[in-house]
């Protein structure tokens, strides 16, 4: 198949105007022009079922969100140095969905900005700078938080890597830790290492459902042991819910609730405004007060009336359309059907997930669990040519990553699984 | 005057939900509910002439920008891992307005993110980390760039202050440096200090029109000597045009053009999307390539179709409505009239600016130049009660800062100056 002329032109312009190494998805990148609900269209009129994009959380071009943005953009858009209802109503509603201790917030434009603040809050309240994360995570792109990415290690960053230590990412398939005690022990070791080095221990930052780590299959409450270790050491637990929040896991609005802990700090981003740039940090009032005492943080666009209108519309849409329950039901159905596919297709080594974050690990051999990375890549590309968008992840890039907009239906799930069934049947293990 | 009940309620909610030290403007904060062009309305229906806000660059709720946002938000909003015309057309148009060497860009959500990248680009290409800025500047709120603020020094920030050295902000009124050679010398001293300390010299970051420093009155080309010093030392010149760009100074679209230099890196923010969260870094292709080789930066919302539509509408509106020429004409008229006021009101010590960034320094005595800080505060508050919004700045908080949306008219300027005339007449120097 050859690339459409227009796509080739756009690829050339990208290299010239945006520089090298600006990644695209797929061997032949998609040129998208329209989105609606769980559907996307490319420039040639091909229609795709979006099983991947989590930013359009309540659906591409969700009418309620679009209407909220248009209405507020046409009325007033200014900053938080003036009084406005929007930010207060939103923070009240947002913090109302979580533990009473998490009662204050700073709104930002991105999850990166939120995590950058969260680490400084931890520094502020503990007086230490040692941060711990997993070795397969991603927490954003500022100088500080970009150093938390082991898969995309920046060569620039003002030496900030000295403050970070890493633990093995949990892996329920290859290296089970059913009650989370081993994970807690590895964190305890790194806490000791931070203390021994003189840096001291400030915080553990994790996605409570470990989405970048391949959403390992853990029972509810699995984070309790590690939270205890962190608190005992005088550090903070930061839950990065940029991906896992807003009901993604189906059973709880926030994944930390599912995993049995109340974080000291929680950060938000991507789905928060359905694509409108808004992020946030939610924490206890004493942590926020200590941070703000040391630094009068201000963000020009953060918490502006349009961003708050978009974010409020997302929360309302989740409620009104019962998208949490939908994620649970549809996710459960899809995983059952994926499990049935595993009976037919030997390459499916493991099926896991919760709600509308789920997938399957592809292996060349179920006993050795050797990753079928090349096959996974071909499956993803073949699905794309059949109108199904999804992606892969994991240390070996051999896990299907399925994370559709939340209005994903049983019918959508069936189309995904049926197409995957066909593609697996016709894709040989080796080229 | 007592605060409206609703405002009192919002202030209480802010302290509870957003934490302490969230600044508002004015002794009695404004509760704004609507904006249009250069006008704002509060919850009680009072109308204000906005002589201060630069974020709504082409006017509050500019119809072209609102239409662009609504149209694109209803069509498609996704990220740069798919191909899309919007970002490429925008970057092509944007870089087309400046020196041919500045030909590539990264789009972000905020000016803070842009400056955070710019400093890492300088680190990447020089292999050094020493940054120089003025002691009265502001370049954003990330862990890294927040350390550049001397007026709001963060107590948290992972020790990054070790990489920053500061020079006295230029001050054409109290300490003239007509040809910029003294500024160049002070920068040269700090370059030597960075080298001597072993940190090395990476970059000078400045607003080319020194907006936060009180827009000192310098002739065009004033930055040439310092640029030469920076280049000779092997460092980069970063121009932060977050405030000074997009025609604010009236004579040039970019203030660095006015000041006679081509920066190695230029950063953009606030007015870029008229309030929609969008920022950017423009640089030479080899600097971008070196940065991206060392770090595959990705920003989920950066350069998304809606942000690019908003940013494109701003550039188009500046062109179509001839807002650059308008800024020059109206700014010139306003400064002439301010100069006439100075003949009547002894407290006006200095009138300066360019285009639609201008103001007057208020003094208790023209010989001693002692700052009339308290008077300035009372003038600002009195103007607010007469429906004129502006602010103050400077080391002594004694300069009127006038920086209206770009469609500001001669009539608007006359209303501002006439009202200021009345307020100065009835405001005693001492309480």
CA separation for the pair A426, A27 (Å, rounded):
19
Residue B254 to chain A, least CA–CA distance (Å): 19
How much is the pLDDT for B27? 83
CA distances to A330, B47, B307 from B424, rounded to whole Å, are: 68, 21, 42
How much is the pLDDT for A420? 98
Contact indicator for B110, B182 with CB cutoff of 8 Å = no
pLDDT tens string B268-303: 999 999 999 999 999 999 999 999 998 999 999 999
Residue A194 to chain B, least CA–CA distance (Å): 15
Chain A residues whose CB is inside 8 A of the B116 CB are 142-143
- Asked if the model's pLDDT at residue B1 lies above 70, the reply is no
- Residue B39, sorted as left (phi over 0), alpha (psi -120 to 50) or beta, turns out to be beta
B400: closest CA among B386, B383, B412?
B383
pLDDT tens string B131-172: 999 999 999 999 999 999 988 889 999 999 999 999 999 999
Residue A263 to chain B, least CA–CA distance (Å): 18
3-state secondary structure of A430: coil
Residue B270 to chain A, least CA–CA distance (Å): 7
Chain A residues whose CB is inside 8 A of the B286 CB are none
Residue B292 to chain A, least CA–CA distance (Å): 6
Residue B257 to chain A, least CA–CA distance (Å): 21
Cα A271 to the center of its chain, rounded Å: 9
Chain B residues whose CB is inside 8 A of the A129 CB are 158-159
Partner residue facing A55 (CB), from B20, B23, B79:
B79
pLDDT band at B2 (very low <50, low <70, confident <90, very high): low
pLDDT band at A342 (very low <50, low <70, confident <90, very high): very high
Beta-carbon contacts of A254 under 8 Å, excluding residues fewer than 6 positions away, are: A97, A98, A208, A239, A241, A244, A245, A266
Beta-carbon contacts of A87 under 8 Å, excluding residues fewer than 6 positions away, are: A80, A107, A303, A304, A305, A308, B18
The predicted model gives B203-210 an average pLDDT of: 98
User: What does the radius of gyration of chain B's CA atoms come to, in whole angstroms?
Assistant: 22
CA separation for the pair A70, A271 (Å, rounded):
18
Residue B318: count of CB within 10 angstroms of its CB: 21
Contact indicator for B235, B203 with CB cutoff of 8 Å = yes
Partner residue facing B75 (CB), from A14, A61, A79:
A61
Contact B24 A83 (CB under 8 A): yes
Torsion angle of C-alpha atoms B327, B275, B313, B114, degrees rounded to 10: 90
CA separation for the pair B196, B190 (Å, rounded):
10
H-assigned helices in B280-409: 285-294, 305-320, 323-344, 373-385
Chain B residues whose CB is inside 8 A of the A146 CB are 295, 297
Contact indicator for A158, B127 with CB cutoff of 8 Å = no
End-to-end alpha-carbon separation of chain B, Å? 17
Residue B172 to chain A, least CA–CA distance (Å): 28
pLDDT tens string B331-387: 999 999 999 999 999 999 999 999 999 999 999 999 999 999 999 999 999 999 999
pLDDT tens string A196-205: 999 999 999 9
A350: closest CA among A362, A341, A332?
A362
Q: Where is A424: in which H helix or E strand?
A: helix A410-426
Contact B156 A120 (CB under 8 A): yes
Contact indicator for A215, A359 with CB cutoff of 8 Å = yes
Contact B60 A73 (CB under 8 A): no
- Asked if the model's pLDDT at residue B69 lies above 70, the reply is yes
- Asked if the model's pLDDT at residue A1 lies above 70, the reply is no
How much is the pLDDT for A304? 97
Percent helix, strand and coil across chain A, each to the nearest 5: 40, 20, 40
Task: For B221-287, give the DSSP string.
Answer: TTTHHHHHHHHHTT-EEEEE-TTTTTTTTSS-SSHHHHTT---SEEEE-GGGGBTBS-EEEEE-HHH
Q: Which domains does chain A have, with CATH numbers?
A: 31-58+322-426 (3.90.1150.10), 63-320 (3.40.640.10)
Cβ neighbourhood burial of A51 (10 Å; 0-12, 13-18, 19+): buried
Q: Which two tokens stand for residue A11?
A: 């690829």
CA separation for the pair B359, B346 (Å, rounded):
15
CA separation for the pair B220, B208 (Å, rounded):
11
Q: Which two tokens stand for residue A91?
A: 């923070």
Q: Which two tokens stand for residue B58?
A: 């082409």
- Asked if the model's pLDDT at residue B328 lies above 60, the reply is yes
pLDDT band at A152 (very low <50, low <70, confident <90, very high): confident
Contact A113 B34 (CB under 8 A): no
- β-strand partners of A265: A238, A283
Q: Which two tokens stand for residue B336?
A: 């002439």
Residue B219 to chain A, least CA–CA distance (Å): 30
How much is the pLDDT for A2? 67
At residue A147, φ and ψ (nearest 5 deg) are -70, -5
Beta-carbon contacts of B231 under 8 Å, excluding residues fewer than 6 positions away, are: B237
pLDDT tens string A34-62: 999 999 999 999 999 999 999 999 999 99
Chain B residues whose CB is inside 8 A of the A95 CB are 17
Residue with tokens 């009239």: B337
Nearest CA in chain B to A64: B74
- Asked if the model's pLDDT at residue B222 lies above 80, the reply is yes
Chain A residues whose CB is inside 8 A of the B123 CB are 156-158
Q: Which two tokens stand for residue A344?
A: 């037919």
The predicted model gives A349-363 an average pLDDT of: 97
The predicted model gives B91-101 an average pLDDT of: 98
Contact A78 B35 (CB under 8 A): yes
The predicted model gives A15-44 an average pLDDT of: 93
- Asked if the model's pLDDT at residue A384 lies above 80, the reply is yes
Contact A299 B73 (CB under 8 A): no
Contact A35 B154 (CB under 8 A): no
- β-strand partners of A282: A105, A266
Contact indicator for A274, A66 with CB cutoff of 8 Å = no
Contact A76 B60 (CB under 8 A): yes
Which value does ipTM take for this structure?
A: 0.97
Choose, out of A297, A299, A300, A302, the residue to mutate when testing the contact with B (most B CBs < 10 Å).
Answer: A300
Nearest CA in chain B to A107: B18
pLDDT band at B195 (very low <50, low <70, confident <90, very high): very high
pLDDT band at A23 (very low <50, low <70, confident <90, very high): confident
Chain A residues whose CB is inside 8 A of the B160 CB are 143, 158, 160
Percent helix, strand and coil across chain B, each to the nearest 5: 40, 20, 40
Partner residue facing B82 (CB), from A30, A123, A292:
A30
Residue B232 to chain A, least CA–CA distance (Å): 23
Number of H helices, E strands in chain A: 12, 15
Contact indicator for A58, A326 with CB cutoff of 8 Å = no
Contact A293 B61 (CB under 8 A): no
How much is the pLDDT for B387? 98
Residue B322: count of CB within 10 angstroms of its CB: 12
CA distances to B251, B326, B355, B413, B422 from B332, rounded to whole Å, are: 11, 10, 7, 10, 21
pLDDT tens string B77-89: 999 999 999 999 9
Contact B17 A92 (CB under 8 A): yes
Calculate the average pLDDT of chain A: 96
Contact A35 B78 (CB under 8 A): yes
Contact B300 A31 (CB under 8 A): no
Contact A55 B78 (CB under 8 A): yes
Contact B156 A291 (CB under 8 A): yes
Pairing of strands A39-42, B130-134: unpaired
Chain A residues whose CB is inside 8 A of the B124 CB are 155-156
Contact A300 B110 (CB under 8 A): yes
Contact A306 B109 (CB under 8 A): no
- Residue A279, sorted as left (phi over 0), alpha (psi -120 to 50) or beta, turns out to be beta
Contact indicator for A66, B73 with CB cutoff of 8 Å = yes
CA separation for the pair B401, B257 (Å, rounded):
23
Nearest CA in chain A to B112: A299
Contact indicator for A380, A390 with CB cutoff of 8 Å = yes
Contact A104 B18 (CB under 8 A): yes
CA separation for the pair B213, B224 (Å, rounded):
19
pLDDT tens string B302-314: 999 999 999 999 9
- Asked if the model's pLDDT at residue A266 lies above 90, the reply is yes
The predicted model gives A220-241 an average pLDDT of: 98
Beta-carbon contacts of B324 under 8 Å, excluding residues fewer than 6 positions away, are: B247, B250, B252, B253, B318, B355
Choose, out of B33, B158, B276, the residue to mutate when testing the contact with A (most A CBs < 10 Å).
Answer: B158
Contact B158 A276 (CB under 8 A): no
Contact B61 A53 (CB under 8 A): no
Nearest CA in chain A to B242: A300
Number of H helices, E strands in chain B: 12, 15
Residue A220 to chain B, least CA–CA distance (Å): 30
pLDDT tens string B11-38: 999 999 999 888 889 888 999 999 999 9
Q: What percent of chain A has pLDDT over 70?
A: 100
Contact A294 B109 (CB under 8 A): no
Contact A152 B11 (CB under 8 A): no
Residue A343 to chain B, least CA–CA distance (Å): 34
């Amino acid at each position: 198949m050859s690339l459409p002329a227009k796509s080739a032109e756009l690829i050339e312009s990208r290299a010239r105007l945006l520089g090298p190494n600006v990644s695209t998805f797929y061997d032949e990148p998609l040129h998208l022009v329209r989105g609606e609900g769980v559907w996307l269209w490319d420039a040639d009129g091909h229609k795709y079922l979006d099983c991947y994009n989590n930013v359009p959380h309540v659906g591409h071009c969700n009418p309620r969100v679009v209407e909220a943005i248009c209405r507020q953009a046409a009325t007033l858009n200014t900053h938080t140095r003036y009084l406005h209802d929007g930010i207060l109503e939103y923070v009240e509603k947002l913090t109302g969905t979580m533990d009473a201790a998490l009662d204050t917030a700073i709104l930002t434009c991105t999850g990166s900005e939120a995590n950058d603040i969260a680490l400084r809050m931890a520094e502020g309240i503990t007086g230490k700078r040692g941060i711990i994360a997993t070795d397969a995570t991603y927490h954003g792109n500022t100088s500080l938080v970009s150093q938390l990415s082991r898969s995309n290690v920046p060569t620039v960053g003002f030496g900030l890597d000295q403050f970070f230590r890493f633990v093995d990412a949990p892996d329920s398939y290859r290296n089970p830790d059913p009650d989370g005690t081993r994970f807690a022990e590895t964190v305890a070791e790194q806490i000791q290492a931070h203390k021994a080095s003189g840096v001291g221990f400030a915080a553990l930052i994790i996605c409570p459902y470990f989405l970048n780590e391949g959403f390992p299959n853990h029972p509810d409450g699995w984070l309790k042991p590690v939270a205890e270790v962190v608190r005992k050491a005088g550090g903070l637990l930061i839950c990065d819910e940029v991906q896992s929040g807003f009901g993604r896991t189906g059973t709880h609005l926030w994944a930390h609730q599912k995993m049995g802990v109340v974080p000291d700090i929680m950060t938000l981003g991507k789905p928060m405004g359905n694509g409108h740039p808004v992020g946030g940090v939610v924490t206890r009032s004493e942590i926020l007060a200590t941070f703000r005492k040391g630094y009068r943080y201000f963000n020009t666009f953060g918490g502006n009336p349009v961003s708050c209108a978009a974010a409020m519309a997302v929360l309302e849409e989740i409620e009104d359309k019962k998208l949490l329950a939908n994620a649970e039901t549809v996710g459960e159905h899809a995983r059952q059907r994926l499990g049935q596919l595993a009976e037919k297709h030997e390459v499916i080594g493991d099926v896991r997930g919760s709600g509308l974050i789920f997938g399957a690990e592809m292996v060349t051999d179920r006993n050795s669990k050797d990753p079928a990375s090349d096959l996974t890549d071909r499956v993803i590309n073949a699905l794309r040519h059949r109108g199904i968008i999804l992606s892969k992840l994991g240390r070996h890039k051999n896990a299907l990553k399925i994370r559709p907009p939340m209005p994903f239906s049983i019918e959508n799930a069936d189309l995904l699984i049926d197409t995957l069934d066909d593609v697996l049947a016709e894709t040989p293990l080796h080229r």
